[in-house]
Amino acid sequence: MVLAFARRGADVVIASRKLEACEALADEVRAETGRRALAVACHVGHWAQCETLAEAAWASFGRIDVLVNNAGMSPRYPSLAQVSEALYDKVLDVNLKGPFRLSALVGTRMAEGRGGSIVNVSSIAAVQPTPVEIPYGAAKAALNSLTLGMARAFAPRVRVNCIMPGPFLTDISKAWDMEAFEAAAKRGIPLGRGGEAREIVGAALYLASDASSYTTGAILKVDGGAVYAPA
């Protein structure tokens, strides 16, 4: 998504817990596109770090036009009874608290200024969670709800929408049993496979740009048809 935005003329802020990875991508953006790119270390599960990230963006660029809430995590657990309070809190903090705080901070200033677009990234676990991702699914369901509420709170100057992806073959898939996944995908996903990272770009560009100027409060399913939830 970062490269897609930069290739179409955007200056970008890249944030994650891993500053070196952010810096490497920022270097790639500058070299390929000539756009400005700011790398910031941020754990969005921490309220103060969300505030630091937002302030760093305003200090460097003077405004934020698009916010993409894409941080996520879903650690495995042996059983529901063995989910620790620390694991539960961490999952809710990263997947819900961070997007809430960043959207509240950035959306308020967008609404007071020239407007903008907020794009949340949920998951089909929000509507069809498996037994090994129940806290994660609950957080993502809440993120869908947050999308709808903030679309109304920040209207009409700020649009707030959500991408709801299915299984994507990003770095996380390196830990999967791919033979089992591919067999399950052929049975349960109408398109018969997992998504490639490049296949999220169209949805992100649509929701970030004026192409979606009459779209807010939408949950856009990008999952190969894996679930039949309303989108």
Number of domains the chain is built from: 1
Would residue 21 count as lying in a domain? Answer: no
pLDDT digit string, tens, across residues 127-170 = 999 999 999 999 999 999 999 999 999 999 999 999 999 888 87
What confidence category does residue 173 fall into, taking pLDDT thresholds of 50, 70 and 90? low
- Looking at 77, 88, 136, 228, which residue is catalytic? 136
User: Three-state DSSP class for 214?
Assistant: coil
Would residue 185 count as lying in a domain? Answer: no
User: Three-state DSSP class for 21?
Assistant: helix
Please name which of 164, 64, 171, 170 lies closest in space to residue 121, comparing C-alpha atoms: 164
> What is the C-alpha to C-alpha distance for residues 2 and 11, in angstroms, rounded to an integer?
9
Write out the DSSP string of 128-174.
S--TT-HHHHHHHHHHHHHHHHHHHHSTTTEEEEEEEE--B-SGGGG
**Any catalytic annotation for residue 88?**
no
Would residue 97 count as lying in a domain? Answer: yes
Would residue 40 count as lying in a domain? Answer: no
Would residue 77 count as lying in a domain? Answer: yes
- The pTM is what? 0.93
Would residue 80 count as lying in a domain? Answer: yes
In CATH, what number is assigned to the domain containing residue 97? 3.40.50.720
Domain that holds residue 131: 64-166+198-222
